[in-house]
Amino acid sequence: MEPTSQGDPRVLFAMNLVLSTAFASVVIWGLSYIDVVPFTLVNVASFALVLMAVTYVVTR
């Protein structure tokens, strides 16, 4: 068996940042579409940070 590479942590962080932000944007847009929360940069950034933290905890 070959050892698996963990990858460069900076690349993993950047991918997590981009994907979490994109997903957060879609979710917040959907919630603003049905008038649950307003679509603001603060809401998107907050949800993206929560997603990043959850992703980090789950993958560790």
Q: What's the angle, vertex CA 38, arms to CA 35 and CA 40, rounded to 5?
A: 155
Give the per-residue pLDDT at 2. 64
Residue 19 lies in a domain: yes
Residue 22 lies in a domain: yes
Q: What secondary structure does DSSP assign to 6-35, as a single string? A: ---HHHHHHHHHHHHHHHHHHHHHHHHHTT
Q: How many domains does the chain have?
A: 1
- pTM of the complete model: 0.82
Residue 52 lies in a domain: yes
Residue 2 lies in a domain: no
Q: Which domain holds residue 25?
A: 9-59
14-40 pLDDT per residue, tens: 999 999 999 999 999 999 999 999 999
Residue 1 lies in a domain: no
25, 44 Cβ separation under 8 angstroms: yes
Residue 3 lies in a domain: no
